[in-house]
Chains A and B, each alone.
Chain A
């Protein structure tokens, strides 16, 4: 589900969201907008199509990217995608925000070891979830994403 916004400039950060759960994706988008984040969001429902877009053959020159990554995907683990992103010279510097249902510290540690920037647990309580996404929006607003060469 992509939503190009009128305010997105050619050099603005594109958000790549890899999330198999439609509901989660919709909630993330809505809350991002509420938090004032209007960047373009490219939504992929599985790991294969996301990897195809990100590191597949014949990919376009990427504008600055930010990846929102769910770990629980039907066809692969989000960690696989994370590892491939961090192994790619062009995308290595792109920030990756891992969003998942678990707060298992071993998974969190593994996520950071593989190079994710932020690890956010999807909360059930709506308030905390909205707050988390809003913080994510603020994070996106202040982060200096180096333009990819």
Chain B
């Protein structure tokens, strides 16, 4: 399936999104790992603090016991200083230890048990010291000998060891967790890297495939273009050939039609000449023997034959004009155009001057509006086009109103547009297409002409890369609009005809 630009965009976006997601996940994992490490460090510290605090409590209790023993042995009050310091410090240290253990994630029960035990131990110490101070040293020693103090002390040591061991276990668990998450992150980052690599490769492959598709499409377009150009060239050649064929046809027809016409006219003249002696004979016979010449014979020589000859002559002359018109069109089609810069304003002013006398006779005005374009075209053809249109405008003015002919020009859509507008008698809408055909005329046939001018105008306009069209309302006027290529097509000189 060929890849479209939209598809490429979407796929690239998807791949990029996947890559970014992987990157984001890796980043988030790193942040999480840093956070874990930090909390692990905190955990290590707090475990250590718990162990130190527990050790401190144990030391204080041991100090108190040692101090008690020293006092009992010596009776010296100075030995009681560590005991006094311990009973002063322990009520602070014990709740602190509980708090630290709870903070470290441990249970609050063991430190509370410890506190109770310490309290019991301190109770025993206080009793013995009180007895000793009261002078009952034996009673105090008796209490010591009960091993109550030793048992309590052993229990305290056991509880402290338990607290320390649990703190160490928590530390180990944390260490393991950190290790595990570090490994997981490593795997995750590796997977993300692999994914990004895959995404990059995928995007590269996509781009490559898209580029290949583009190249293939471009090659296809190129070959299609080449084919198109060739087809255009072939069509153009075919059209040119067809056009040449039509030209040749018109040329041959007009030549071969003319040859019999020469005979018709020539022998008509012979007939006419032959009638002269016949008429003289009739006249002589009439004079010599009036009864001999019949009225039919007289009429034949005097009227019928001259009349027939007259019709033959006018018809052949008309036919000759038509053939000449075809011949002229055919020649015009074969004439090589000679494009040159032509200022239409000057050209039209010249044509207007050539019909000045007719305009004056008709009491009409002709105006060339300013702003006429300059074209690169065949001057002679342009003169014939606008000469014909201006002649028509002048010939078909409406005597009911003062004639007014306006020529306007402009450049529009890469073409020169010239309008010849008159307020003449106008053309029936039915005839707007027909008037451009050869030998077709419209309206009252009260002006000389063969119906050639507009056919000629259209043929010329088309040769100059343009067209002519008509807008007209009977009784209002007509506008002939000629569009011309700003630069006339460069026709090669036509191939010389074989004489026909």
Q: Is B270 an interface residue (CB 8 A)?
A: yes
Given known pairs A77-B498, A106-B496, A130-B269, the reply for A101 and B255 (CB within 8 Å) is yes
- A124 near B261 with CB under 8 A, answer yes
Interface residues on B, range: 20 to 34
Q: Are B499 and A122 in contact, CB atoms less than 8 angstroms apart?
A: no
Convert A67-78 into 0s and 1s, putting 1 for each residue whose CB lies closer than 8 angstroms to a CB of B: 000011000011
Q: A27-B267, A126-B265 are in contact. Are A71 and B499 (CB under 8 A)?
A: yes
**A104 vs B323: C-alpha distance when bound (angstroms):** 13
Query: Do residues B268 and A126 form an inter-chain contact, with CB atoms below 8 A?
Result: yes
Q: Is the C-beta of A79 less than 8 angstroms from some C-beta in chain B?
A: yes
* B266 at the binding interface (Cβ < 8 Å): yes
Does A63 count as interface, using CB distance less than 8 angstroms?
A: no
Q: Decide if A24 is an interface residue (CB 8 Å cutoff).
A: yes
* 4-45 of chain A: CB within 8 A of chain B: 21, 23-24, 27, 30
Q: Is the CB of B262 within 8 A of A72?
A: no
Which residue from chain B places its CB closest to the CB of A73 in the assembled complex? B499
Q: Which of B255, B256, B260, B269 contacts A126 (CB 8 A)?
A: B269
CA distance A107 to B254 in the complex (A): 15
Measured CB to CB, the closest approach of chain A to B454, in angstroms, equals: 24
* Interface residue A115 (Cβ < 8 Å from any Cβ of B): no
Q: Is the CB of B267 within 8 A of A107?
A: no
Q: Decide if A125 is an interface residue (CB 8 Å cutoff).
A: yes
- In the complex, per-residue mask of A117-132: 1 if CB is within 8 Å of any chain B CB, else 0: 0000011111101100
Q: Do residues B499 and A125 form an inter-chain contact, with CB atoms below 8 A?
A: no
Interface residue total, chain A, C-beta cutoff 8 A? 25
Q: A29 to B495, alpha carbons, bound, how many Å? A: 36
Q: Is the CB of B259 within 8 A of A72?
A: yes
Which of B263, B320, B327, B496 has a CB less than 8 Å from the CB of A24? B263
- B263 touching A27, Cβ below 8 Å: yes
**Residue of B317, B320, B499 contacting most chain A CB atoms (<10 Å):** B499
Q: Is B408 positioned at the interface, with any CB of A under 8 Å from its CB?
A: no
Interface set, chain B 244-279, CB cutoff 8 A to A: 255-256, 258-263, 265-270, 272
Residue in A24, A27, A102, A127 whose CB lies within 8 Å of B500: A102
B331 in contact (CB, < 8 A): yes
One of B258, B266, B272, B331 near A27 (C-beta < 8 A): B266
Given A102-B500, A124-B316, residue A23 in contact with residue B266 (CB < 8 A) = yes
> With contacts A77-B499, A78-B499, A107-B499 known, is A101 near B266, CB below 8 A?
no
Question: In the complex, how many angstroms separate the beta carbon of B253 from the nearest chain A beta carbon?
Answer: 12
Contact in complex: A124, B331 (CB < 8 Å): no
Contact partner, A125, options B260, B267, B317, B496, Cβ 8 Å: B317
Q: How far is the CA of A64 from the CA of B258 in the complex (A)?
A: 32
> Using Cβ atoms and an 8 Å threshold, which residues of chain B touch A102?
255, 258, 327, 499-500
Expressed in whole angstroms, the Cα–Cα distance for A10 and B500 within the complex equals: 37
Q: Which residues of A contact B260 (CB under 8 A)?
A: 23
Q: B263's contact among A23, A78, A130, by CB below 8 Å, is which? A: A23
Chain B residues whose CB sits within 8 angstroms of the CB of A110 once the complex forms: 499
B317 touches A124 (CB 8 A): yes
The answer to whether A79 and B258 touch across the interface, beta carbons within 8 angstroms, is no
Shortest CB-to-CB span from A127 to chain B, Å, is 8
Question: Interface digits, B317-360 against A, CB 8 Å rule (1 contact, 0 not)?
Answer: 10010000001000100000000000000000000000000000
| Least CB separation from B331: chain A residue | A104
- Do the beta carbons of A125 and B263 come within 8 Å of each other? no
Q: Is A72's CB under 8 angstroms from B255's CB?
A: yes
Cβ–Cβ < 8 Å partners of A104 in chain B:
327, 331
Query: Cβ of A79 and Cβ of B499 under 8 Å apart?
Result: yes
In the complex the two chains form, is B265's CB within 8 Å of A124's CB?
Answer: yes
Q: Give the 8 A-B residue pairs with the shortest CB-CB distance, closest first.
A: A126-B269, A23-B263, A27-B266, A101-B258, A124-B320, A71-B499, A124-B265, A122-B262
New contact pairs (6) apart from A125-B265, A129-B262, A129-B266, CB-CB < 8 Å:
A72-B500, A102-B327, A107-B499, A122-B262, A124-B316, A129-B269
Which A residues lie at the B interface, using CB under 8 A? 21, 23-24, 27, 30, 71-72, 77-79, 100-102, 104, 106-107, 110, 122-127, 129-130
